[in-house]
Structure 1
Amino acid sequence: MSTETIEFQAEARQLLRLMIHSIYSNKDVFLRELISNASDALDKVRLAAYQDKELGAETDDLHIELVPDPEARTLTVRDNGIGMTRDEVVELIGTIAKSGTAELLAQLRDAGDGEAAQLIGQFGVGFYSSFMVADRVELTTRRAGTDAGVRWESDGEGSYTIEPADDAPQGTSVTLHLKASDAEDQMHDYADRNVLRRIVKTYSDFITWPVRLAGEPPAEGEEMTEPETLNSMKALWARPQKDVSDEEYAEFYRHVSHDWQEPLETIRLAAEGTFEYQALLFLPQVAPMDLHMRDARRGVQLYVRRVFIMDDCEALVPEYLRFVKGVVDAADLSLNVSREILQQDRQISAIRRRLVKKVLATIGTLRDEKPEAYATFWDQFGRALKEGLLSDADNRETILGVSSFASTHGDEPTGLAAYRERMREGQEAIYYMTGDSRTAIEASPHMEAFRDKGYEVLLLTDPVDEVWVDGVEGFEGTPFRSIAKGQVDLQTDEEKEKAGEQATEFAALCEWMTGVLDDDVKEVRLSSRLTTSPAVLVGDEFDMTPTLEKMYRAMGQEPPKVKRILELNPSHPLVTGLREAQAAGRDESETAELLHGMALLAEGGELGDPARFVGLLAGRLERTL
């Protein structure tokens, strides 16, 4: 194969341009990213050698080596890990195979230094950070167990060259031809051995593989110095908690999560006995951009006796805790365990149950002891956590207990335990309403009687809320009840007596309107939930909500038509006037249609025939002038 010149993918080209023009100032992190990539490659080659004894991979001295050359102004980061084939080089380096790349680039352009660093880390494009400090980057690699090596080279301007490299050793070597400006700044001269020592100690001390600084070239008459190991290689999860600093936890979190911020909370867990394992988990401060994307990565890293097994072990954490990052190191699993076996493994299931309980308990502790941290967590991950109300029946009560919801009680979200403490005397249910936004719900006619009588209502606006409320019966014995469904009983005995009299007075009107609106409603009845609006549409207890109908349509599914109930406010002049007109024998069918359309619009619904509604309204307005 001869030398090929290939254009970068458009998104990769844009990202390289941002890198070359220094989108953030802390350029030291490029080395952390390259060392992290090398560490991953070493993990993978050891696992591959365990799984395939015939692979022929060299695993006797796995390590990462840094080779600075001040005279040539280069820095080489070399590993003898898994390496890459020619196709893998093109796929992994020539393109950005991630969802949401356009959103990433847009946010990078507008972000400050810290925000930009965080965004780059989220999308796993750390290799590109090399171009912050290098005019040209060469990569030589050979996949373990193969004979064909590859050499890749680019100046980051728009294309790269790729050619065979028959002499390439196993693993990957990245050589950076450093920019001249780095030599002028002694603190950031990446061909300076002291600078490399400082960066590795700061960012990569916990890497489990030795990071070696190549020996110095000998002076005349002297021998070359021995390589120097720069990192301690101590697994943080295996060290006593008192011996690990917050800074070390933060750097380890950045390593496993590719998030360049500090974690919101650190969680340690260990078990001895039948199932022995250690876990070091983290709650992030900011949700990754792909948190709610279907192909988002999830899971924590799995090790067995310090041997890396897999990156995103989905079997260890349920999907609704996909934001949790960290490491689980088990003692007794097979080293060549597969994802399929993991899903059935009894020990993995036991570990998973413990991890879930520990994470939920930690969230509860945040709520009780660190309200600001909890508010940050809930703002970023509350929507994902509530998915567990559908999928994890065993922990449903716990999830409800650590969740927060917007409420009419105030501007700040409330917990369900606090809601129950504030319930009115005689109140038997936790009232809620779902909708597109808090503003829309608060303006809904359904809220009128509850607001008037001082009943607190939960305002549920996340898409997942539309689903879980129908599958969860209640919290600590108190049922949930939608204020937009079924009958509402907030009346005093005196009000009920008056309502009985009104029911007799309006019986004929309700029967007549039910016939007129038969295509759209199943019943017309008087309302006890209205104080100012003339009418409102409500559903039966198990009917699909209008918002849920919209969600189905947005997914390309047309839900079955559900006839709803039209409730009238017997105290509203429009309704009393309509009763008198109908009793006098006048045909007010158009008024009935307008009343139904108004109720539909008031809840944010869509008119079946907007043109007819506008025509009827225009005609009615014209006759009043």
Structure 2
Amino acid sequence: MGDRTETLEFQAEARQLLQLMVHSIYSNKDIFLRELISNASDALDKLRLESLIDKDLDVDTSDLHIELDVDPEQRTLTVRDNGIGMSRDEVVNLIGTIARSGTAELLRKLKESQDAAASRELIGQFGVGFYATFMVADKVTLVTRRAGQSEGTRWESAGEGTYVIEPVDDVPQGTSVTVHLKPEDSEDRLHDYAAEPTIREIVKRYSDFIAWPIRMGTDDETQTLNSMKALWARSRDEVDEAEYHEFYKHVSHDWADPLEIIHMRAEGMFEYEALLFIPSHAPFDLFLREGRRGVQLYVKRVFIMDDCDALMPNYLRFVKGVVDAHDLSLNISREILQQDRQIQVVRRRLVKKVLSTVKDLMTIHPERYRTFWNEFGRAVKEGLIEDPDNQELLLDLVSVASTHDPDQPTTLRQYVERMKEGQKDIYYMTGESRSMIEKSPHMEAFHTKGYEVLLLTDPVDEVWVERIAQFDGKPLQSIAKGQVDLDGADDATPEREQQRNDFTPLLTWLTGKLSDQVKEVRLSSRLTTSPACVVGDTYDMTPTLEKMYRAMGQDVPPVKRILELNPTHPLVTGLRQAHEGGADEKTLAETAELLYGMALLAEGGELSDPARFTRLLADRLARTL
């Protein structure tokens, strides 16, 4: 079969990741064994599940286990399982490629990071799994045969950009990974992973809870190294923090400890146990369409499926852990789960528990809450759109930037407590960045009169503020939409009435002249220094939301907005006087066009004809010299 041996190159991102592992600055290299054992455990879970689903699959599941073999003389450590195994194509796809978009960007950040702690944190944002072996290995050999197939596959690499792959006969079902260890005296003074006591200690520390026996020894004396006790089935006082942390790393393939642990048990009509974790940082694929969710479903200790979307809503996709239901069928499908009434009850309880846990963090551990919101707030805000049942609880969790404090975000509850006497609305503005919003003409009167404004810069903010009418009985009001008058009753004074009458002819003329661009021109009470601004009608779609829909391929009609003028600005008063004095129509029209263009640019909008705007502006400036 030698003529079918191939030497292939790793995908570019995989090659970079290998180099990072080979030259790793990560101090705890013991975790390579945890990763190999975790992969072996997954393979055993998948075999048992497949044997339940496919009755024609000819496999022996009577003694599923993981076996460790240490050879001190050859300096090798082998991890074997008799699980599902892999076909040749699966080996190439799972090991030769990192088949997840976004990894390249993370690798770029890793290479640029000069800080060892930051690099470790970035490494932990994706489960490197198998690649971790190259922290301790000169060479890695993998031999595997997929259950139900006759031919096996041998894979080998020194982690230097290429690997060798070939078919092999007489391979037992499952996967065997042999790590050819670096010399003992190599830099970093590695632990001796060719010594049995070291291996026993690592397994006990990191993999004691694995549900399958992990064995080591000879035929005469084989020891099982792990207790195999399901953590979620034990009471909380029987499990210490370190065990929880290691189990989290097993289910998440994260390298960092979790931010919060949720251990719950339900008894009665429908019994289940749940052990959930809130990570301490966002996974790199949190906002990728193909990103994975983190909750695994077991039935009576038997693994059924990972990435179980029936148990956790999309906006909580970062939650990791296990739910073990006692009363479901072992061959239940995803489609049946979506309709199962009991599963829907479990889902509601899990969501309530996760959200109430985060709410408790706000008061008990505010620093941890801030970490949570910084990492996951953008995803959680999706729940304001997707989950009306928990809208009030979610609104209590929202934390956003505001003009109150440039360094600290605020909750909606804190905003309401600080509202000025007589203030009826919660004011906000959406935009691409904080600096763009703060410099917007719409903010001028709010700055002058000391009203706090929420500064919403996440794309999802554009959507949820349209759906949420109020918080705590206070309407949410965009300062860039509708009529905003901070003077209240003063609006009806004779002076204001006279001002409106004075400007009516100009406003009527401008509305007609700019009819292709705007639906109305009116006076503004939100401007103090700028001549004009563009605002939306109360129920109109914002320009940013328009762009978002178009980017998603949805055809939305363009929305005409309203041009508001500052009646005290010299440019506006001069335009009014020129209009009343019968000035040249062309000059007036060009001034109107420039005024609208400036208002559009001031809010970060785009001109429909930038070249014409520039030409008009240059001509006007030339006349002033």
Q: TM-score range by the shorter chain?
A: over 0.9
Amino acid at match of 1:395: N
CA distance in 2, matches of 1:501, 1:231: 86
- How many residue pairs get matched? 617
CA distance in 1, matches of 2:489, 2:53: 76
In the superposition, relative to structure 1, how do residues 201 and 186 fare at CA in structure 2: closer, same or farther (>3 Å)? farther
Alpha-carbon offset, residue 457 of structure 1: 1.4
Structure 2 counterpart of 1:29, from 6, 28, 31: 31
Structure 1 counterpart of 2:519, from 501, 522, 525: 522
Alpha-carbon offset, residue 425 of structure 1: 2.5
- Structure 2 gaps, min length 5: none
The 8 Å contact of residues 104 and 119 in structure 1, kept in 2 or not, is answered as yes
CA distance in 2, matches of 1:13, 1:455: 54
Amino acid at match of 1:529: R
Alpha-carbon offset, residue 574 of structure 1: 1.3
- For residues 561-586 of structure 1, what are the alpha-carbon distances to aligned partners after superposition, in whole Å with 9 as ceiling and x for unaligned? 22111111111111111111111100
CA distance in 2, matches of 1:318, 1:550: 27
More displaced stretch, 366-375 vs 83-92: 83-92
Alpha-carbon offset, residue 416 of structure 1: 1.3
Structure 2 counterpart of 1:276, from 268, 271, 274: 271
Aligned ranges 1:446-595 → 2 under 5 Å: 446-497=442-493, 498-555=495-552, 559-587=556-584, 588-595=588-595
Aligned ranges 1:65-84 → 2 under 5 Å: 65-84=67-86
The equivalent residue for 2:19 is: 17
The equivalent residue for 2:196 is: 193
Amino acid at match of 1:329: D
The equivalent residue for 2:214 is: 211
The 8 Å contact of residues 142 and 150 in structure 1, kept in 2 or not, is answered as yes
- Structure 1 gaps, min length 5: 216-223
In the superposition, relative to structure 1, how do residues 439 and 604 fare at CA in structure 2: closer, same or farther (>3 Å)? same
Q: Give the match's secondary structure for 1:316.
A: coil
Alpha-carbon offset, residue 184 of structure 1: 9.3
Alpha-carbon offset, residue 118 of structure 1: 4.5
The equivalent residue for 1:162 is: 165
Alpha-carbon offset, residue 293 of structure 1: 0.8
More displaced stretch, 373-382 vs 118-127: 118-127
The equivalent residue for 2:597 is: 597
Amino acid at match of 2:613: F
CA distance in 2, matches of 1:381, 1:166: 49
Aligned ranges 1:218-297 → 2 under 5 Å: 225-297=220-292
Q: Give the match's secondary structure for 1:432.
A: strand
CA distance in 2, matches of 1:185, 1:9: 28
Alpha-carbon offset, residue 310 of structure 1: 0.9
Q: TM-score of the superposition, structure 2-length normalised?
A: 0.95
Alpha-carbon offset, residue 353 of structure 1: 0.3
The equivalent residue for 2:374 is: 379
The equivalent residue for 2:148 is: 145
The 8 Å contact of residues 100 and 290 in structure 1, kept in 2 or not, is answered as yes
CA distance in 1, matches of 2:202, 2:177: 17
Q: Give the match's secondary structure for 1:617.
A: helix
Alpha-carbon offset, residue 83 of structure 1: 0.9
Alpha-carbon offset, residue 257 of structure 1: 0.8
The 8 Å contact of residues 299 and 316 in structure 1, kept in 2 or not, is answered as no
Matched, 1:388 2:383: yes
Amino acid at match of 2:129: G
Alpha-carbon offset, residue 262 of structure 1: 0.7
Q: Give the match's secondary structure for 2:306.
A: strand
The 8 Å contact of residues 407 and 456 in structure 1, kept in 2 or not, is answered as yes
The equivalent residue for 2:328 is: 333
Kindly report the root-mean-square deviation, in angstroms, between the aligned alpha carbons of the 2 structures. Answer: 1.8
Alpha-carbon offset, residue 558 of structure 1: 5.9
Q: Percentage identity across aligned positions?
A: 68
CA distance in 1, matches of 2:387, 2:187: 58
Amino acid at match of 2:226: N
Amino acid at match of 1:523: E
Alpha-carbon offset, residue 225 of structure 1: 4.6
More displaced stretch, 283-292 vs 614-623: 614-623
CA distance in 1, matches of 2:558, 2:78: 66
Q: Give the match's secondary structure for 1:15.
A: helix
In the superposition, relative to structure 1, how do residues 232 and 114 fare at CA in structure 2: closer, same or farther (>3 Å)? farther
Matched, 1:433 2:429: yes
The equivalent residue for 1:355 is: 350
Alpha-carbon offset, residue 125 of structure 1: 2.8
Alpha-carbon offset, residue 121 of structure 1: 4.5
Aligned ranges 1:107-122 → 2 under 5 Å: 107-111=109-113, 112-122=115-125
Q: Give the match's secondary structure for 2:141.
A: strand
CA distance in 2, matches of 1:496, 1:451: 23
The equivalent residue for 1:624 is: 624
The 8 Å contact of residues 182 and 190 in structure 1, kept in 2 or not, is answered as no
Amino acid at match of 2:103: T
The equivalent residue for 1:219 is: none
CA distance in 1, matches of 2:276, 2:323: 8
CA distance in 1, matches of 2:571, 2:446: 22
CA distance in 2, matches of 1:480, 1:310: 42
The equivalent residue for 2:610 is: 610
In the superposition, relative to structure 1, how do residues 6 and 117 fare at CA in structure 2: closer, same or farther (>3 Å)? farther
In the superposition, relative to structure 1, how do residues 18 and 623 fare at CA in structure 2: closer, same or farther (>3 Å)? same
Amino acid at match of 2:518: V
CA distance in 2, matches of 1:410, 1:398: 24
Q: Give the match's secondary structure for 1:333.
A: coil
CA distance in 2, matches of 1:131, 1:41: 21
CA distance in 2, matches of 1:374, 1:34: 33
Alpha-carbon offset, residue 456 of structure 1: 1.6
The 8 Å contact of residues 125 and 282 in structure 2, kept in 1 or not, is answered as no
In the superposition, relative to structure 1, how do residues 429 and 492 fare at CA in structure 2: closer, same or farther (>3 Å)? closer
In the superposition, relative to structure 1, how do residues 314 and 153 fare at CA in structure 2: closer, same or farther (>3 Å)? same
Alpha-carbon offset, residue 341 of structure 1: 1.1
Alpha-carbon offset, residue 238 of structure 1: 1.2
The equivalent residue for 1:220 is: none
The 8 Å contact of residues 77 and 178 in structure 2, kept in 1 or not, is answered as yes
The 8 Å contact of residues 133 and 182 in structure 1, kept in 2 or not, is answered as no
The equivalent residue for 2:47 is: 45
Amino acid at match of 2:512: G
The equivalent residue for 1:136 is: 139
CA distance in 1, matches of 2:204, 2:110: 28
The equivalent residue for 2:5 is: 4
More displaced stretch, 269-278 vs 108-117: 108-117
The 8 Å contact of residues 400 and 454 in structure 2, kept in 1 or not, is answered as yes
Matched, 1:424 2:443: no
The 8 Å contact of residues 120 and 126 in structure 1, kept in 2 or not, is answered as no
Amino acid at match of 2:609: D
The 8 Å contact of residues 134 and 159 in structure 2, kept in 1 or not, is answered as yes
CA distance in 2, matches of 1:201, 1:58: 28
CA distance in 2, matches of 1:371, 1:234: 34
CA distance in 1, matches of 2:153, 2:61: 21
Alpha-carbon offset, residue 342 of structure 1: 1.0
Alpha-carbon offset, residue 15 of structure 1: 2.2
The 8 Å contact of residues 295 and 322 in structure 2, kept in 1 or not, is answered as yes
- For residues 437-464 of structure 1, what are the alpha-carbon distances to aligned partners after superposition, in whole Å with 9 as ceiling and x for unaligned? 1111111111112222222211111000
The 8 Å contact of residues 508 and 521 in structure 2, kept in 1 or not, is answered as yes
- For residues 280-326 of structure 1, what are the alpha-carbon distances to aligned partners after superposition, in whole Å with 9 as ceiling and x for unaligned? 11111111111111110114011111111111101100000001111
